[in-house]
Amino acid sequence: MPKSSRYPFAGGTAVITGAAGGIGSALASQLAIRGSHLALVDKNEFGLAQLRDEIGSHAPHARITTHHLDLSQSDAAERLRTEVIDAHQNPTLIINNAGVALGGMFEQVSMADVDWLLSINLRGTLAVTSAFLPHLQQGAHITNVSSLFGLVAPVGNATYAASKFAVRGFSIALREELKPRGISVTSVHPGGVRTSIALSSRRGPGVSDEQWAWGQAEASRLLTRDPQAAAASILKAIYRRRPRVLIGPEAYAGDVLARLAPARATAVIGGLIRWRAGGQAPPVR
């Protein structure tokens, strides 16, 4: 694909997972303004309907379909492909944004919890990509939302970081594999964006009430960046077909740490999180 190539939003169809809130809904709204049609995917059926009506009121030209699916179900991606192709024919943009979090140190969570998180954060991303790849034409684009924790891995986020590191690796390899087909790939690494992912995270069975309360309070303090601003940065990267986008100073700092001091990155990021928390360390068991 020529370096001068840009992704044309107008007239294309974007499939967005995790669309009912946060970055997903912000992306949907901004894509509609740019002339894209939308296939919105989430397990929150009410949130999808609200978003469809809201976007339809200010972007009546957009063809919007909603797809009430739980990506933790093994057949969800195949069902989504059938629904989207029937309604829109071939999509031009796939945004794998759906994600969940799991509270607790690795020894405090169960393997059932781990399987649930990986089924959405990692397998969901792979399955949706696999389902739509045969239908993507030259000029299409795939965007996979990783995380700051796909660059560095702070204590207490072992399973989440594992999923997001994997999404980053998948995106890097996929980008090279799809170059001959003229399909581009962007990986996204948001820092503290104001979404519900932490506040709606699953609690590991070994996490105490005190630890859970501390984690929820920290999420409220740390996740403050406007999802609309994050979405604008992502769409700018998609338009320019950049291989990745870092969102927020903490993502840039994490990227530098991972490159220059990988052995110290976890400790430094943990210290920064405690500093943002007013110096208060997380409670111990």
pLDDT, tens digit (0-9, with 9 covering 90-100), for 241-253: 999 999 988 888 8
- In whole angstroms, give the CA distance from residue 29 to residue 27: 6
What's the mean pLDDT when you consider all of the chain?
A: 90
Domain map (residue ranges) of the chain: 13-252
Active site residues: 160
Query: Is the C-alpha dihedral spanning 24, 30, 36, 37 positive or negative?
Result: positive
Q: Which two tokens stand for residue 265?
A: 């990155």
Q: Please give the backbone phi and psi of residue 247, each rounded to the nearest 5 degrees, phi first.
A: -120, 115
Q: Which two tokens stand for residue 27?
A: 């992306």
| Dihedral (Cα; 258, 263, 269, 270), 10-degree rounding | 160
Q: Which residues pair with 102 in a beta bridge?
A: 202
CA-based nearest residue to 36, from 4, 64, 58:
64
Q: Is the pLDDT of residue 231 over 80?
A: yes
Model pLDDT, residue 165: 97
How far CA 208 is from CA of 13, 105, 285, in Å, comes to: 45, 11, 7
262: exposed, middle or buried (Cβ count in 10 Å: 0-12, 13-18, 19+): exposed
CATH code for residues 13-252: 3.40.50.720
Model pLDDT, residue 189: 96
Per-residue pLDDT tens over the stretch 1-21 = 554 589 999 999 999 999 999
